[in-house]
Amino acid sequence: MDLICVGDVMLDVRVDAGELARGGDVHGRVALQPGGTSA
């Protein structure tokens, strides 16, 4: 799944960097937090 942010959003999505693998599936914990930084 690709994530594209345009303008401001109501949630920040965070995935621990150690869980990201180039060209593969991401298995791990995804945190959704109130935010709106989108930057």
- The model's pTM is 0.27
In this prediction, residue 15 carries a pLDDT of: 65
First to last CA, the chain: 19
Count Cα atoms within 13 angstroms, Cβ side, for 20: 7
Is 15 within 8 Å of 26 (Cβ atoms)? yes
Per-residue pLDDT of 1-39, as tens digits, reads 676 655 555 666 666 656 556 666 666 666 666 666 554
Residue type, position 27, single letter: H
* Domain map (residue ranges) of the chain: 1-39
